[in-house]
Structure 1
Amino acid sequence: MRSTIKIKLSIMMFLEFFIWGAWFVSLGPFLAQNLRATGVETGSVFSTQSWGAIIAPFIIGLIADKYFNAERILAVLHIVGAVLMYQMYNATSVGAFYPYVLGYMILYMPTLALVNSVSFNQMQDPEKNFPAIRVWGTIGWIVAGAAISYLLHWDSPQSVQQGLLKNTFLMASISSLVLGLFSFTLPATPPKIKGQKVSISQMLGLDALKLLKDRNFLVFFIASILICIPLAFYYSNASNYLVDLKIEKPLLKMTIGQFSEAAFILCLPLFFKKFGIKKTILVGMLGWALRYALFAYGNGGDLAFMLIVGIALHGVCYDFFFVAGQIYTDSKAGPQYKSAAQGLITLATYGVGMLIGFYVAGLISDAYNSSAGHDWRMIWLIPAGIAAVVMLLFAALFRNGETVKAE
């Protein structure tokens, strides 16, 4: 890749995840403090991410692989998303907030696959080149959290009580507009099957389902759904947990996970080469079980270091499963259906898995909430157990021998 293309792709990744990090991490405290949402209502709002991910493969398969350039679709989705995000900023109740966040997530989740597609289209060796581009997304998430917590202090106890967390949506709206306009300058990523006679299944991206005929990919696909059930507990409860424990600058401390993510993502090629895809993914699953156990037994006092270690494990959890999974999926997909294949794995993870997970997390949070407060130990031990079971099933069913080129 030319250096100018690398710079553009890096800026794209930075803004893509800056937008997400600007509002999603603080969503739990915002819903609880500003909109007085229950656990089930909170789970319902978070599950809009899953509905967006479920619809994403159809948008990608129908449009990106057939009719329009991926970077142009990316631009339109982010510009419209900026308008919806501004409406979320103005909402004053869960009922008013929900339609806008649902519409926004239906537009945003396809962009996760689109930025990957735009990136992979410029790479001759994605396994080697992609981590160096993707790491800028992690940096974007870190900068968003640092800005909210360290520069603007919107997550301080006083600011939370004053309702200043709503400003995160305004920041995300402006950033989304910037990325939408910038996307028109990205390298052209034309549809792969434009002008060809295609079936309905091809138009909808359903041909990527052929990947499920491969036993190992089927096991990976199912494991992706199941591991996202405990993952949903982290997204919906972690920031609330730190706020409840009165941890100072909670959103800033949560960016430790993104620093870890930035470091471990650069280690992926080495792990692929030395240990293979199976062991790499198993390490990621182990990380989820371990971090929730640390959350369960840590506290805001003398055992606060356990919470920090649990947050720092995010790099292992996310990179060794999700980013590794994106690269593994790209290596299994044919050249015509790379966008659809990325949409398929988005469907499995952020779609079906988290839809179930957010519902379960909401039920568990309400079940272990009383006048005395949340029983956080049980709230974290349950997803720790789920992650451990998924890890054991994957270890037993995924056959050895799969390789991913990483030279």
Structure 2
Amino acid sequence: MMFLEFFIWGSWFVTLGTFLGNNLKASESESAAVFSTQSWGAIIAPFIIGLIADRYFNAEKILAVLHLIGAVLMYQMYTATNVSVFYPYVLGYMILFMPTLALVNSVSFNQMKDPEKEFSSIRVWGTIGWIVAGLLISYVFFWDAKEAANAGLLKNTFLMGSIASLVLGLFSLTLPKTPPKGAGEEKVKIGEILGLDALKLLKDKNFAVFFISAILICIPLAFYYQNAHKFLSNIGVEGPTGKMAIGQISEALFLLLIPFFFKKYGFKKTILVGMLAWVIRYLLFAYGNAGNLSFMLIVGIALHGICYDFFFVSGQIYTNSKAGEKYKSSAQGLITLATYGVGMLIGFEVAGIITESYKVADGSFDWKMIWMIPSGIAAIVFLLFTLFFNDKDKVQETAI
């Protein structure tokens, strides 16, 4: 289940930016709108989970329905010939897909006696699924090779995703029963579903600094999602999708190092390392090339584990420790809404505007400036967090 869940996502999302430019001739603002569907999905997902899945239906059944409908929408994305046709399908798909990320976790947790110890060995199969999708695209089907991409073969990634979604939808019907957690409850608090109950935590100055930093750091993150594959393809890197899978391998490895960093250096230093990695990564992208400096691009991709894990995963642990028992779920919901919802929504819009403004007359891009700007934004967030975050409390150690 976990393998297929992330195989589906990795099969089309990594190459999306290149596909939009090559196949659908989308402008940068149109590409930004398409990528923003992930944020709208993240904003709407809590309603689907909180109002429907957690109250009326078994998690595995709604997971099956969402993926079966998703298979149809993905096929429609495969057949779309322009952005105006493509957009409604990708929006509908992301609204249905984002809730499945929580549903696969629910199904997993329901089968475990000790989730803190057991979950990581299950979740890692999601990362493996994403990696396998990238390797298939680059080194088995060669859909992202320059000639194939120019010939429009990248659209086949959606067909692969549609087939995988159909398989997972049918497979989900065989999963162990996971009854709704909120069945029988009379009242549903919208604020609790969205995590708004946890807004009380913002009275804590240090948590407020972290919260604002989490939103701002999503702007550089959006540049990576939206532009990295297109950048690598544009400058002539071979097998860009497969090479970007290095980022997921790095993510899995650095996840194991977070407990060590927390214990030895504390939350502030750990998260600052994550922020600094964003600055360095984009400088490497700005000055690297597909020739003698290609190693700089590989190192930049490999930094994904530090960029993502040391900020976002560390942030989830910090949030968990500050929230206490009463607001744990609400606080995680609030951070998800703030980052993948609001933060990424702003980030994709900014990335679209910046990328469009540095488009050269011949249709290529001034990639150096496009990467220098998010590097600068990450550096500003790094400085602000260094100056204003002074939490001396020990963050509770949490098993990863």
TM-score (norm 2): 0.91
State the Cα distance separating 1:38 from its structure 2 match: 1.0
Q: Distance in 1 between matches of 2:71 and 2:322?
A: 34
The answer (yes or no) to whether the contact 1:280–1:320 under 8 Å persists in 2 is: yes
The answer (yes or no) to whether the contact 2:67–2:165 under 8 Å persists in 1 is: yes
Q: Do residues 382 (structure 1) and 373 (structure 2) align? A: yes
**CA 1:69–1:226: 2 relative to 1, 3 Å:** farther
Q: Do residues 260 (structure 1) and 253 (structure 2) align? A: no
State the Cα distance separating 1:258 from its structure 2 match: 1.3
**CA 1:135–1:104: 2 relative to 1, 3 Å:** same
- Three-state SS of the structure 2 residue aligned to 1:374 is coil
The answer (yes or no) to whether the contact 1:56–1:343 under 8 Å persists in 2 is: no
State the Cα distance separating 1:75 from its structure 2 match: 2.1
| Residue among 370, 392, 396 paired with 1:400 | 392
Q: State the match for 1:248 in structure 2.
A: 238
Q: Distance in 1 between matches of 2:103 and 2:367?
A: 37
**CA 1:31–1:380: 2 relative to 1, 3 Å:** same
Contiguous gaps of at least 5 residues in structure 2: none
Q: State the match for 1:95 in structure 2.
A: 84
- Return the letter of the residue paired with 1:394: F
State the Cα deviation string for residues 304-345 of structure 1 (Å, max 9, x = none): 111110000011112222333445555666779876655433
**CA 1:189–1:332: 2 relative to 1, 3 Å:** farther
The answer (yes or no) to whether the contact 2:317–2:398 under 8 Å persists in 1 is: no
Q: Distance in 2 between matches of 1:92 and 1:151?
A: 25
Contiguous gaps of at least 5 residues in structure 1: 1-11
Matches within 5 A, 1:133-144: 133-144=122-133
State the Cα distance separating 1:391 from its structure 2 match: 2.5
State the Cα distance separating 1:201 from its structure 2 match: 2.7
The answer (yes or no) to whether the contact 2:321–2:396 under 8 Å persists in 1 is: no
- Three-state SS of the structure 2 residue aligned to 1:175 is helix
| Residue among 209, 234, 243 paired with 2:196 | 209
Q: Do residues 116 (structure 1) and 105 (structure 2) align? A: yes
Q: Distance in 1 between matches of 2:62 and 2:313?
A: 23
Q: State the match for 1:306 in structure 2.
A: 296
Q: Using the aligned pairs only, state the percent identity.
A: 69
Q: Distance in 1 between matches of 2:317 and 2:112?
A: 12
The answer (yes or no) to whether the contact 1:88–1:97 under 8 Å persists in 2 is: yes
State the Cα distance separating 1:120 from its structure 2 match: 4.1
| Residue among 227, 230, 236 paired with 1:237 | 227
The answer (yes or no) to whether the contact 1:29–1:240 under 8 Å persists in 2 is: yes
| Residue among 33, 52, 57 paired with 2:22 | 33
**CA 1:189–1:43: 2 relative to 1, 3 Å:** same
Q: Distance in 2 between matches of 1:341 and 1:187?
A: 29
The answer (yes or no) to whether the contact 2:243–2:298 under 8 Å persists in 1 is: yes
The answer (yes or no) to whether the contact 1:131–1:266 under 8 Å persists in 2 is: no
Q: Distance in 2 between matches of 1:174 and 1:394?
A: 44
**CA 1:311–1:92: 2 relative to 1, 3 Å:** same
Q: Distance in 2 between matches of 1:45 and 1:238?
A: 16
- Return the letter of the residue paired with 1:380: W
Q: Distance in 2 between matches of 1:164 and 1:309?
A: 28
- Return the letter of the residue paired with 1:388: A
Q: CA RMSD in A?
A: 2.4
Q: Distance in 1 between matches of 2:165 and 2:224?
A: 24
The answer (yes or no) to whether the contact 2:271–2:314 under 8 Å persists in 1 is: yes
Q: Do residues 66 (structure 1) and 66 (structure 2) align? A: no
Q: Distance in 2 between matches of 1:160 and 1:293?
A: 27
Q: Distance in 1 between matches of 2:252 and 2:370?
A: 28
| Count of residue pairs the alignment pairs up | 394
State the Cα deviation string for residues 80-118 of structure 1 (Å, max 9, x = none): 111100100010001110000010011111222333344
State the Cα deviation string for residues 359-382 of structure 1 (Å, max 9, x = none): 111110110112153111110011
Q: State the match for 1:44 in structure 2.
A: 33
TM-score (norm 1): 0.89
Q: Distance in 2 between matches of 1:370 and 1:254?
A: 25
Q: State the match for 2:286 in structure 1.
A: 296
The answer (yes or no) to whether the contact 1:57–1:344 under 8 Å persists in 2 is: no
Matches within 5 A, 1:356-371: 356-371=346-361
**CA 1:337–1:20: 2 relative to 1, 3 Å:** farther
State the Cα distance separating 1:218 from its structure 2 match: 4.1
**CA 1:335–1:137: 2 relative to 1, 3 Å:** farther
The answer (yes or no) to whether the contact 2:198–2:327 under 8 Å persists in 1 is: no
